[in-house]
Amino acid sequence: MNTLRVVFVGGLTSYRALFNWINPWIFIPHTLGYPIFEILFFAYLGRFAGVESDRFFLIGNAFLAIAVTGMFGMGHATAGERRSQTLATLLASPANRFAVFLGRALPSIITGFFVATVSFAICAAILGVHVSLASLPGLALATVAAAFACTALGLCLGAVGLRGRNVSVFADVITACMLVVSGANVPLHLLPGWLQTIASGVPLTHGIQAARAIANGASIAASADLLAKEVAIGGIYLAVGLFMLRLFEFEGRRTGSLERF
């Protein structure tokens, strides 16, 4: 019961604190405004370049919104604790670490899903992109898989936050790299071979590919291998993230660096 309390109550409280308890009237436009304008920016750039369709950029950038919420949410979860000087207290508590960070991950996954869905719907209406109703369950599945994988990578960033002072900027750089590497804005075949190899090992790439295939009429079964790869990549990052959390917590305690800011 206590573990569940840590996951849900602790997670919700941390989530509210993550955004400095800001008013929902500011939180919602901020969270949705960024991805909506990002989608429009790249869709118009694609139109200008004559490369790919609006649908290509709509799906790619809606999924990037997941990356932003997943990585920033998780990355900033520890950075925020450090800044408000509660990190040492949190780590000194006997609470199960997995429950603590799972509580922080769940709102990020839900937010990522919500932001991607709403910004997708709004921009599809603005850009005049039609997606059949039959493809929606598959798109939802791809969104959840990508949100899981991005949040798992975010957990790794959160772990880095136990050692680094400003992990938000690091998360910012990773998200920026995703703009290119994940194939969200640049077709993967245009990238150099070594970058394509990296792309196959990062979250989003397979989720975006699966979503584009499903939106173009493929069945969920036909995209199952891509979805499975996305979830597997997420699982690997989750395992690495949990290991890093344990390692950096130990290192932080040993070097007394948890309260440095």
Provide the binding-site residues for another protein, judged by CB under 8 A.
19-20, 22-23, 26-27, 29-30, 33-34, 37-38, 40-42, 44-51, 83, 164-167, 169-170, 172-173, 176-177, 179-180, 185-186, 190-191
Q: Could you tell me the smallest distance in angstroms from the CB atom of residue 257 to another protein? A: 15
- Give DSSP secondary structure letters for 26-69: HHHHHHHHHHHHHHHHHHHHHHHHT-S-HHHHHHHHHHHHHHHH
Task: For residue 116, give the nearest of 38, 16, 231 by alpha carbon.
Answer: 38
User: What are the angstrom distances between the C-alpha of 3 and each of 6, 12, 151, 191?
Assistant: 5, 14, 20, 45
Beta carbon nearer to another protein, 140 or 180: 180
Say if residues 52 and 187 touch (Cβ distance below 8 Å).
yes
Cβ-based nearer residue to another protein, 99 or 157:
157
Choose between 12 and 179: whose C-beta lies nearer to another protein: 179
At closest approach, how far in Å is the CB of 149 from another protein? 21
For the chain, how long is the longest CA-to-CA vector?
Answer: 57
Nearer to another protein among residue 122 and residue 191 (C-beta): 191
Chain mean position to CA 188:
20
CB 120, CB 126: distance < 8 Å: no
Amino acid at 153: L
Q: What's the closest the beta carbon of residue 137 comes to another protein, in angstroms?
A: 30
CB contact at 8 A, 81 and 90: yes
Give the residue with the Cβ less far from another protein, 191 or 236: 191
Measure the CA–CA gap between 35 and 15, rounded to whole angstroms: 20
CB of 37 to another protein, least distance (A): 3
Q: Which is nearer to another protein, 167 or 233 (CB)?
A: 167
Smallest gap from Cβ 174 to another protein, in A, equals 10
State in angstroms the smallest separation of the CB of 261 from another protein: 10
Work out how close the CB of 66 gets to another protein at its nearest, in angstroms, rounded to a whole number: 17
CA distances from 112 to 44, 85, 140, 150, 155 (A): 24, 27, 12, 9, 14
For another protein, which is the closer residue by CB, 57 or 148? 57
Consecutive H or E run containing 5: helix 2-5
